[in-house]
């Protein structure tokens, strides 16, 4: 009997595909042309034949000074865009000297407490020349405004700034947990960001709707896309309900997905996602601007698939994952460093990760033609199969009342946990092979010296905060925070008084605490 395999989404993979598998299939309708509806073949007509994707490297650790040095090295090595990792206190809206931040300052990203830190982080980096992505969600508005303030100090006007804030809080309730406020005020804050950026920072991507973290938690490819698109639909509905015209903000929406080692399914996943989003935007929201229909996305290679055992093998995994993202038509890409399953990447491993992208872009021929897998029997069938599975999941979410209601029911979390459990069982049984873990192990691992964060950083940040509070105009800070509170209590856009407070050197924690006092904090229910 043949050994029949299934995809990560649990869909069958046949040993052979042919024309019969596409019976009743109209290529013109299903595929279209690159850069045209339904965008199955890519969002731009020329894709990488004109220039490659944006090569980003996700970095940030310790102090702003240390991260600034890493950014300058990455730029010197050919990085085309920066991607900032923030530490957990910053992600949760706490200052580095808050008791809750103890032991976490600078550990998984850079500590940013005020405009002073942001100024150091981007010192000597021309903000009109780089595109910056910031992986920040609940306090995304604060970090964007700090970035704008630093740009103004450099003499760079806001209309010249390009980049992205992740700003996707719904996936935090589902899979990651770095939320602050309850869903309703969180969605109000996102709508305020959309409006602010349309008026003040028009080239900025106002949200990066993320499936990556759900995938890292165990979501299958179909779940990753379905739950991400459901969140996207919720954000669009929120903005429309707030009085915005869909074509005034939808072109600035972007997405963030994972790239696993299963190339065929990943390519099909990206193609199906573009097709579904284009149809939803046109049919549900009546979008007329072609840019509103485009699902533009950033990809990061799958950190969850990297292993601490034989870490050099991760170089191979990352290359395969990156290739899948490129064949799937990503707009930007971060390739993980091979040592990330052990600790923060070293300078050398970060450079090797970037070189992986450069080899794909300049030494292979995948950039010579648009959508190389178009018409492949297997990829087209997998694209169709995934589209059906994704739409089925989207239908179940709609039956529950939409993404927020489904989150409150615990639907997405339960589905992801079932998928994660299935993957664990398959790995434990050996059905799913993980090289170096359940097959092809070494009797003894070679020693590896990881990069470590200096624990003294916490005290250094506390000293900086004490100095800031002693030097600043406290009356100006208090006045600005009162104005912020008033806006939060009413219906005015909170970003304008928030910017005034940050300019007066209010801290991230102080601004977030002001909003906590008005909006409260999110407490998970027993449902999830």
Q: Which residues pair with 259 in a beta bridge?
A: 301
* pLDDT greater than 50 at residue 425: yes
Q: Report the b/e string of 295-320 with b at 16+ CB within 10 A.
A: bbbbbbbbbebbbbbbbebbbebbbb
State residue 32's pLDDT score. Answer: 86
Q: Residue 9 corresponds to which tokens in the numbers above?
A: 């989404």
* pLDDT greater than 80 at residue 214: yes
State residue 182's pLDDT score. Answer: 96
Between 89 and 344, where is the model more confident? Answer: 89
- How many other CB atoms are there within 10 angstroms of residue 154's CB atom? 16
Nearest to 504 by CA among 528, 526, 482: 482
State residue 416's pLDDT score. Answer: 97
* pLDDT greater than 70 at residue 264: yes
* pLDDT greater than 70 at residue 528: no
Cα(26)–Cα(32) distance, integer angstroms = 10
State residue 3's pLDDT score. Answer: 64
State residue 496's pLDDT score. Answer: 98
Cα(309)–Cα(72) distance, integer angstroms = 31
| Range from 18-32, 62-76, 487-501 carrying the lowest mean pLDDT | 18-32
Q: What is the mean pLDDT of residues 298-322?
A: 97
State residue 166's pLDDT score. Answer: 97
Q: Could you report the per-residue pLDDT of 505-520, keeping only the tens digit for each? A: 999 999 999 999 999 9
Q: Could you report the per-residue pLDDT of 123-137, keeping only the tens digit for each? A: 999 999 999 999 999
Band of pLDDT at residue 527, cut at 50, 70 and 90: very low
Please give the share of the chain, as a percent, with pLDDT higher than 70: 97
Band of pLDDT at residue 457, cut at 50, 70 and 90: very high
Mean pLDDT rounded to a whole number for the chain: 94
Band of pLDDT at residue 62, cut at 50, 70 and 90: confident
Q: What is the mean pLDDT of residues 443-454?
A: 79
* pLDDT greater than 80 at residue 448: no
Are 386 and 222 spatial neighbours (Cβ–Cβ below 8 Å)? yes
Ramachandran class of 321: left when φ > 0, alpha when ψ lies in -120 to 50, beta otherwise: alpha
pTM of the model: 0.92
| Torsion 157-158-160-161 (CA) sign | positive
State residue 24's pLDDT score. Answer: 64
State residue 273's pLDDT score. Answer: 98
Are 235 and 253 spatial neighbours (Cβ–Cβ below 8 Å)? yes
Collapse the DSSP code of 90 into the 3-class scheme (helix H, G, I; strand E, B; otherwise coil) and give the result. Answer: helix
Are 68 and 305 spatial neighbours (Cβ–Cβ below 8 Å)? no
Q: Residue 480 corresponds to which tokens in the numbers above?
A: 């600005």
| Range from 41-45, 78-82, 303-307, 377-381 carrying the lowest mean pLDDT | 78-82
Q: What is the mean pLDDT of residues 391-417?
A: 97
Collapse the DSSP code of 162 into the 3-class scheme (helix H, G, I; strand E, B; otherwise coil) and give the result. Answer: strand
Q: Which domains does the chain have, with CATH numbers?
A: 51-429 (3.20.20.240), 461-519 (no CATH)
Band of pLDDT at residue 1, cut at 50, 70 and 90: very low
Please give the share of the chain, as a percent, with pLDDT higher than 90: 85
* pLDDT greater than 90 at residue 26: no
Q: Could you report the per-residue pLDDT of 348-371, keeping only the tens digit for each? A: 998 999 999 999 999 999 999 999
What Rg value do the Cα atoms of the chain yield, rounded?
23
Beta strand ranges found along 311-461 (DSSP E): 332-334
Antiparallel, parallel or unpaired: β 5-6 and 12-13: antiparallel
Are 170 and 178 spatial neighbours (Cβ–Cβ below 8 Å)? no
């Amino acid at each position: 009997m043949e050994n029949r395999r299934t995809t990560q989404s649990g869909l069958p993979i046949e040993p052979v595909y042919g024309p019969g598998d596409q019976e009743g299939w109209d290529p013109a309708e299903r595929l279209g042309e690159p850069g045209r509806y339904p965008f199955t073949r890519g969002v731009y007509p020329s894709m990488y034949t004109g220039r490659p994707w944006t090569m980003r490297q996700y970095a940030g650790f310790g102090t702003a000074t240390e991260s600034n040095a890493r950014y300058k090295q990455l730029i010197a090595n050919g990085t085309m865009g920066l991607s900032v990792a923030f530490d957990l206190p910053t992600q949760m809206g706490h200052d580095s000297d808050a008791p809750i931040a103890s032991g976490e300052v600078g550990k998984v990203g850079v500590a940013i407490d005020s405009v002073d830190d942001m100024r150091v982080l981007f010192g000597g980096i021309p903000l009109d020349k780089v595109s910056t992505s910031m992986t920040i969600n609940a306090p995304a508005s604060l970090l964007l405004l700090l970035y704008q303030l630093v740009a103004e100090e450099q003499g760079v006007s806001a209309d010249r700034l390009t980049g992205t804030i992740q700003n996707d809080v719904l996936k935090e309730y589902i899979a990651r947990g770095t939320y602050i406020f309850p869903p309703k005020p969180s969605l109000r804050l996102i709508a305020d960001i959309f409006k602010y950026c349309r008026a003040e920072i028009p080239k900025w991507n106002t949200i990066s709707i993320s499936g990556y973290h759900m995938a890292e938690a165990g979501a299958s490819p179909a779940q990753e896309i379905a739950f991400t698109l459901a969140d996207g639909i919720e954000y669009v509905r929120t903005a429309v309900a707030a009085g915005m015209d869909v074509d005034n903000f939808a072109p600035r929406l972007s997405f963030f997905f994972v790239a696993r080692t299963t190339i065929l399914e990943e390519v099909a996943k990206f193609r199906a996602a573009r097709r579904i989003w284009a149809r939803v935007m046109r049919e549900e929201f009546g979008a007329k601007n072609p840019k509103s229909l485009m699902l533009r996305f950033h990809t990061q290679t799958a950190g969850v698939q990297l292993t601490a055992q034989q870490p050099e093998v991760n170089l191979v995994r990352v290359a395969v994952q990156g290739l899948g993202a490129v064949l799937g038509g990503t707009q930007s890409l971060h390739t993980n460093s091979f040592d990330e399953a052990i600790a923060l990447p070293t300078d050398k491993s970060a450079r090797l990760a970037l070189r992986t992208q450069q080899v794909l872009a300049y030494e292979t021929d995948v950039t010579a033609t648009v959508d190389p897998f178009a018409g492949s029997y297997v990829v087209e069938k997998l694209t169709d199969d995934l589209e059906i599975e994704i739409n089925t999941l989207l239908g179940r979410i709609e039956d529950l009342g939409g993404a927020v209601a489904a989150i409150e029911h615990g639907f997405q979390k339960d589905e992801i946990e079932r998928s994660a459990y299935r993957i664990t069982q398959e790995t434990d049984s050996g059905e799913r092979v993980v090289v170096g873990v359940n097959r092809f192990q070494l009797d003894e691992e070679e020693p590896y010296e990881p990069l470590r964060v200096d624990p003294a950083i916490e005290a250094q940040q506390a000293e900086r905060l004490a100095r800031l509070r002693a030097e600043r105009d406290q009356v100006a800070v208090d006045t600005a925070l009162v104005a912020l509170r008033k806006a939060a209590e009413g219906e005015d856009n909170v970003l304008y008084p928030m910017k005034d407070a940050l300019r007066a050197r209010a801290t991230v924690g102080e601004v977030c605490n002001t909003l906590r006092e008005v909006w409260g904090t999110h407490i998970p229910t027993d449902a999830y």
